[in-house]
């Protein structure tokens, strides 16, 4: 059977835990499937502390479906076939990883097993561990890297080490996502963040901390579904629109402002996404 697609493999990375890599991986996969009708595979490549199976309540769902043995990415790396480890949630496919796996696996086989299925998908999203050794096979398997950080100097300094690892592997770093913004007055702005990155990596999204995330986690439901029209969901959709090369849905104020005023009010991340789309169209046309 011929498939007219070849997935882009995107990885969300940082060498610091707690910045929201898993959240962003899940929310991006959900938005791509739900709002852009993309065929998506989400892979939990955090071998030491996998969370996606818990995040999406896959263990309970598999028991309800009569699945006797919960299989994950480690099983696929041992050769059972990736298709045997795929579950479905919120309109996209998921390969979880298994807690306390009892066998040694070669995590550098990740790229090889993903190559076998990438023709079935538009996007493959990789969640990664903050562990340096586990991060390397994720970077090797990915086509594009997105650095996830909070807006403080300590976290950003640590997160940018992942960018250096990607550059050493010659895997392109496409952008920075600033997550869990709580007090912009006391946090780094876009100019400062991009300056620390050598003005070579654009900030593509700035996501405020959201009180409804606790409710989202309780209900095992991605926030872009749980709070579809909130500010968090809007920024995720804006980021995903850039991945797809499609225009953002303008808000009311964007419709009435001229471009100069729009620049001043809506921030550089919006401009960066517009430039990212232009590069998308250029690269796709070559």
Any residues with CB less than 8 A from the CB of 152 and at least 6 apart, and which?
Answer: 187, 188
From residue 168, alpha-carbon distances to 46, 115, 165, 207 in Å are 21, 22, 5, 28
Percent of the chain beyond pLDDT 90?
74
- Residue 255: is its pLDDT beyond 60? no
Name all domains of the chain by residue range, CATH numbers in brackets.
Answer: 8-212 (3.40.50.300)
pTM for this prediction: 0.90
Mean of pLDDT values over 139-144: 96
Angle at the Cα of 48 (from 43 to 49), degrees rounded to 5? Answer: 70
pLDDT of res. 68:
59
pLDDT in tens, 161-197: 999 999 999 999 999 999 999 998 899 999 999 999 9
Q: DSSP 3-state assignment of 61?
A: helix
Do 113 and 82 touch, CB atoms closer than 8 A?
yes
pLDDT of res. 279:
83
- Residue 43: is its pLDDT beyond 90? yes
- Residue 140: is its pLDDT beyond 70? yes
Mean of pLDDT values over 124-149: 95
From residue 188, alpha-carbon distances to 178, 183, 264 in Å are 10, 10, 18
**What is the rounded CA–CA span in Å between residue 132 and residue 232?**
29
pLDDT of res. 277:
92
pLDDT of res. 254:
53
pLDDT in tens, 60-115: 766 566 665 789 999 999 999 999 999 999 999 999 999 878 788 999 999 999 99
């Amino acid at each position: 059977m011929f498939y007219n697609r070849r997935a882009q493999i995107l990885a969300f990375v940082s060498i610091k835990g707690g910045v929201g890599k898993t959240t962003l991986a899940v929310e991006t996969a959900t938005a791509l499937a739900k709002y852009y009708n993309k065929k998506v595979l989400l892979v939990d490549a955090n071998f030491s502390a996998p969370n996606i199976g818990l995040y999406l309540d896959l263990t309970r769902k598999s028991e309800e479906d009569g699945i006797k043995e919960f299989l994950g990415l480690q099983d696929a790396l041992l050769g059972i076939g990736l298709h045997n480890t795929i579950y479905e949630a919120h309109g996209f496919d998921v390969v979880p990883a298994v807690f306390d796996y009892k066998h040694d696996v070669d995590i550098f086989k990740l790229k090889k097993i993903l190559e076998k299925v990438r023709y079935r998908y538009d996007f493959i999203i990789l969640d990664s561990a903050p562990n340096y050794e586990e991060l390397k096979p994720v970077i090797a398997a990915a086509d594009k890297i997105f650095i996830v950080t909070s807006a403080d100097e300590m976290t950003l300094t640590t997160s940018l080490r992942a960018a250096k690892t990607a550059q050493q592997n010659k895997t392109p770093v496409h952008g920075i996502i600033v997550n869990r913004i709580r007090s912009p007055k006391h946090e780094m702005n876009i100019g400062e963040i991009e300056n620390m990155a050598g003005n070579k990596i654009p900030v593509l999204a700035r996501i405020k901390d959201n009180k409804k995330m606790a409710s989202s986690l309780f209900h095992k439901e991605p926030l872009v579904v749980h709070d579809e029209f909130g500010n968090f969901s809007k920024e995720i959709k804006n980021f995903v629109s850039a991945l797809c090369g499609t225009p953002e849905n303008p808000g009311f104020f964007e419709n009435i402002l001229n471009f100069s005023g729009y620049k001043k009010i809506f921030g550089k991340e919006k401009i960066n996404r517009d430039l990212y789309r232009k590069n998308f169209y250029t690269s796709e046309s070559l």
